[in-house]
Amino acid sequence: MIVLILLPFVAEAVDESYVISSMTRIMIFAMAAVSLDLIVGYGAMVSFGHAAFVGLGAYVAAILSFHINDGSAVFNFPFSFDGSNNLFLILIVAIFVAAIVAALTGLISLRTHGIHFIMITLAFAQMLYYLFISLDTYGGEDGLLMPGRNQVPFIDTADDFTFYYLCLLILVVYIFLSRRLVNSQFGRVIRGCKLNEKRMQSLGFNTYWYRLTAYIIAATGAAVAGVLLANKTEFVDPGLFSWHLSGELLVMVILGGLGSIYGAVIGAFVYLLLEQVLSAYTEHWMFFLGPFLILVVIYARHGIYGVLQNKVLSND
């Protein structure tokens, strides 16, 4: 935490400002990973389409600022909406859109379990992927360039330094809220569903609605990450919906350790840092990352966070 706060100053001092940019990216992915951990780690709902919500958030940011730049309305019915460049408004719209999409797809997906749930979430994400490829107004397959970062009153988001702290702040708040959520009564019901759904039902909980709510909450978190990601790169393309990104998010969560929030953060940092470090040494970094992941699975049972926790426990 302290490292993250001080890092930009160090980076600035040694004149390696790309570090700020790449750390911002990692923090945004960490947030998406945390939101995925909420359903995978706590609710045993393994979504293989989580990137779809990241993509939705990103496209909301890009489309709204595209229209404000263009001067045209996003839609005219039932009321006229001209788009926006205000980050807060965009976040709200993104959360709203992601929640609606998650509610619709969740209603169907949550009827299934296990591998079928994995596949049906993948199917919905693929549908969105092809939908956005077909939207010619918004760049289709080539993606959409944003006119600039969305604005926040009183601060200059175009500055990488400031944007870094904005992302850090949002990440910390999000982790805090997520911890509160999983430790609340709601979180206990969700965790109960993971262990034994029948038992929760006989205790009188309507588990379907609880799981659906959790699914929607996770989707909104991913959408916020999507908005930030679009703002960071100032570019969106349908690749954000791809199953490859969904897979990578899952890998981050599993790598770090399921069901611990911090694990997802660690997973995102380790995975993306490894990617960067290895790719600096060799073009064929995936050739080495692959076996590393396999070794982690075979030897580190509960992910990296699990190993760290065991170390701490055995030291006591």
Partner 1 sequence: MLLFIEQVLNGLQLGFMLFLLSAGLTLVFGVMNLINLAHGSFYMVGAYVAATVMQASDSFVLALLVALFTAGLCGFLVEVIVLRHLYKRDHLDQVLATFGLILFFNEGTRMIWGRQPLFMQVPELLSGSVEILPGIPYPVYRLVIIAIGLAVAIGLYLLINHTRLGMRIRAGASNRSMIAALGVNIRWLYSLVFALGALLAGFAGVMAAPVFAVESGMGESILILTFVVIVIGGIGSVKGALLGALLVGLVDTLGRAFLPDLLQMFISSGANSIAASLSSMGIYLLMAVILAFKPRGLFPA
Calculate helix-pair angle for 285-299, 243-256, nearest 10 degrees: 40
| Closest CB to partner 1 among residues 167, 264 | 264
Q: Measured from the CB of residue 117, what is the shortest distance to partner 1 in angstroms?
A: 9
Q: Smallest Cα–Cα separation from 90: which of 118, 65, 107?
A: 65
Q: Measured from the CB of residue 87, what is the shortest distance to partner 1 in angstroms?
A: 30
Q: φ, ψ for residue 234 (rounded to 5)?
A: 55, 35
Q: Which residues contact 311 (CB under 8 A, 6 or more apart)?
A: none
- Positions touching partner 1 (CB under 8 A) are 40, 46, 108, 111-116, 118-120, 122-124, 126-127, 130-131, 133-134, 136, 140, 243-244, 247, 250-251, 254-255, 258, 284-287, 289-294, 296-298
| Closest CB to partner 1 among residues 176, 287 | 287
Q: Measured from the CB of residue 153, what is the shortest distance to partner 1 in angstroms?
A: 38
The stretches of 152-257 forming alpha helices (DSSP H) are 160-183, 185-195, 197-202, 207-233, 243-256
| Closest CB to partner 1 among residues 229, 258 | 258
How many helices and strands in the chain, by DSSP H and E?
A: 13, 2
| Closest CB to partner 1 among residues 36, 216 | 36
| Closest CB to partner 1 among residues 36, 94 | 36
DSSP state of 148: S
Q: Measured from the CB of residue 302, what is the shortest distance to partner 1 in angstroms?
A: 10
Q: Measured from the CB of residue 204, what is the shortest distance to partner 1 in angstroms?
A: 24
Q: Measured from the CB of residue 297, what is the shortest distance to partner 1 in angstroms?
A: 4
> Residue 8: is the preceding peptide bond cis (ω within 30°)?
no
Q: Smallest Cα–Cα separation from 38: which of 311, 307, 224, 239?
A: 224
Q: What are the tokens at 300? A: 């580190």
| Closest CB to partner 1 among residues 119, 273 | 119
Asked if residues 253 and 269 have their Cβ atoms less than 8 Å apart, the reply is no
